[in-house]
Amino acid sequence: MAAEKITSLQNPRIKQLVKLRDRRPRDEAGVFLVEGYRQIRRALEKGVGLTELYISPEWYLGENEPALIAQAEAAGAKVFELTKDAFAKVAYRERPDGLLAVAPQWKRTLDDLSLPVAGVADRGSEKAPRPGSATPATAKPPFLLVVEAIEKPGNLGTILRSADAAGVDALIVCDPVTDLFNPNVVRASTGVLFSVPVVIASSAEVRPWLKARGIRAVATTPSAAVLHTETDLRGPLAIVMGSEQYGLSDYWLKESDAQVRIPMAGQADSLNVAMATIITLFEAVRQRGV
C-alpha cells in the first residue's frame, strides 16, 4: 500500500509529532515516539503495536528500511512519507535515519511481574562467596534492579541497557523524576525499553513487596563500610541505586538489608549513576555465575 505523503510543515500530523516531545501531550494521547531503525525493529520484535510510522527515504542510512516498513505495515501501522525538511522538523536526533514511529504507552504493576518464588534457602548472607565457590542448585533466584528518582533521561536509558545486558528480571523505577517514555530514554535504551519489564511505583510500595517475596534489598551508597565485591550478591536480590544528585533517600538506606559502595581511589567521591549501576550489576553477574 502506498504511503500517504506529507509535504507541509504546517500539517496537523507534523504539529502533533512535535508536541509529543513533551510529556503532557504524550500522556494525554497515551502514546510516545520511537525514532530509529534499531529501536523500531526491537519494538516490532516484541509485538509493540505501532500505530503510525513516518518515513523519509532521503534520510535512510542503509538498505533494510523497506523490509522494516513492510513489517510495521503488516502489523497494523499506518505509514506516512515525509519530505526531508518535514522529517527534520519532527525528528529529535541530530542526524535522523528517516524512521519515526508512534507507539501506545503501557503501564505494568508490581503484581504483573512474573518472578521465581524465593525460598529461604536461597537468601544470601552478607559475606562474599569464596573464589570458585558454587551456588547450591536451585531454581534461578529473582534478580532485580531498583532505581530511585533518576533525573536524566539518558541515564535511565543507559540503565535499561545495562539491566538487559546483565539479565535482570525487571527494572523497578521508584518515585521517577524523568518520564519513562521520554524520547531520550527510548533512544539511550536502544530499544531495550521494549524487552526489559519496567514497573513504576513508589518506594513505600516496593520495599514491602520485596520483603514479602524474600528478596534482599542491597543499597548502594558512598558512605557504606562494605565494598560491593565483599557482599554476597547471590540469591533473591534487588540492587538499589539512587538519584544522580542526592543518592538514595534515607528511607532506602534505613530499610535496606545491606549497604555497599564502589571503591574510589581518586578525588571524585561518586560515579555517574549509570556507570555505578553497570559496575554493581556485573559484580552480581560474576557472583551469580550468569
Residue 47 in this model has a pLDDT that exceeds 70: yes
Determine phi and psi for 36, rounding to 5 degrees.
Answer: 110, 145
For 28, the grid coordinates are: 494525554
Return the half-sphere exposure (C-beta side, CA atoms, 13 A cut-off) of residue 256: 23
**pLDDT tens-place string over residues 160-178:** 999 999 999 999 999 999 9
Average pLDDT over residues 68-84: 97
Confidence of residue 116 (pLDDT cuts 50, 70, 90): low
Would 109 be classed as within a structural domain? Answer: no
pLDDT of residue 246: 86
pLDDT of residue 28: 97
Residue 217 in this model has a pLDDT that exceeds 50: yes
Residue 6 in this model has a pLDDT that exceeds 70: yes
pLDDT of residue 168: 96
Nearest to 241 by CA among 206, 268, 211: 206
Confidence of residue 266 (pLDDT cuts 50, 70, 90): low
Average pLDDT, the chain: 90
135 lies in the same domain as 87:
no
Domain extent for 153: 117-288
204 lies in the same domain as 271:
yes
Residue 278 in this model has a pLDDT that exceeds 80: yes
Of 104, 127, 154, which residue sits at a domain end? 104
93 lies in the same domain as 185:
no
86 lies in the same domain as 204:
no
Average pLDDT over residues 118-136: 38
